[in-house]
């Protein structure tokens, strides 16, 4: 059975850090694609040996959730959640509480999934059932999280944030990315 383990090309428009909320939204597109790829890898490995394509795809998922996802959560915890908590709006304060709890659940679920996914990427995974179960749990802890951020948290934070360009500058600096000169003085 031939199965493609890669996903179609990028559909997320490239956003610069001078538009930090667009960067955050773009990350969600990549999270969704990485979660879909994770499920495809786990499904594939449930009935196939860890071939090169499966190992490469597992490595891609591993790299995304090891590198980009933690930076994204840090962005939210530094720049979005404090605004929601201090908004004086009960719905936003409740959303901030839930989102922070979600981040903890995501980190915990990732800690269980990571070694299994690393084994798959290294071609030495032997408990494909455990990998599949951990992948399902990891996807489940994301249920509703991205939607809450996209529909409520990000729009509210964008409305409340007094200096979004400074937010973007800080996000870029933490990643070692230089901001274009024309956006620095704004």
Does residue 49 sit in helix, strand or coil? coil
- Per the listing, tokens 């996000």 go with 171
Confidence of residue 49 (pLDDT cuts 50, 70, 90): confident
pLDDT at 93 over 60: yes
- In Å, the largest CA–CA distance within the chain is 56
- Return the domain boundaries, the chain: 20-184
% of the chain exceeding 70 in pLDDT? 88
User: CB neighbours (10 Å) of residue 162?
Assistant: 7
Give the pLDDT score at 4.
Answer: 40
Structure confidence at residue 12 as a pLDDT band (50, 70, 90): very low
Residue 45 has pLDDT above 80, yes or no: yes
Candidates 1.20.120.520, 3.90.105.10, 3.20.20.150, 2.130.10.10; CATH matching 20-184: 1.20.120.520
Residues 6+ apart with CB under 8 A from 161: 79, 83, 167
CB atoms within 10 A of CB 113: 24
Beta-carbon count within 10 A of 144 CB:
11
Does the predicted TM-score (pTM) go above 0.75? yes
Residues 6+ apart with CB under 8 A from 137: 109, 112, 113
- pLDDT value at position 55? 95
Residue-wise pLDDT for 94-128, tens only, equals: 999 999 999 999 999 999 999 999 999 999 877 88
Which residue has tokens 């980190």? 107
Tokens matching residue 138: 């990891």
Helix (H) or strand (E) holding 90: helix 90-121
Q: Which residues contact 36 (CB under 8 A, 6 or more apart)?
A: 7
């Amino acid at each position: 059975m031939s199965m493609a383990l890669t996903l179609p090309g990028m559909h997320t428009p490239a956003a610069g850090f001078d538009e930090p909320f667009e960067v955050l939204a773009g990350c969600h597109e990549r999270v969704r694609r990485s979660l879909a790829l994770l499920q495809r890898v786990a499904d594939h490995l449930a009935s196939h040996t860890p071939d090169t394509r499966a190992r490469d795809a597992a490595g891609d998922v591993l790299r995304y959730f090891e590198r980009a996802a933690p930076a994204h959560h840090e962005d939210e915890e530094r720049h979005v959640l404090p605004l929601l908590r201090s908004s004086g709006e009960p719905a936003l304060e409740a959303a901030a509480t839930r989102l922070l709890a979600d981040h903890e659940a995501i980190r915990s679920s990732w800690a269980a999934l990571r070694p299994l996914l690393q084994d798959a990427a290294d071609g030495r995974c032997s408990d494909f059932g455990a990998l599949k179960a951990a992948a399902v749990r990891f996807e489940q802890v994301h249920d509703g999280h991205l939607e809450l951020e996209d529909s409520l948290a990000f729009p509210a934070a964008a409305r409340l944030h007094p200096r979004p360009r400074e937010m973007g500058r800080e996000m870029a600096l933490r990643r070692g990315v230089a901001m274009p000169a024309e956006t620095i003085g704004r």
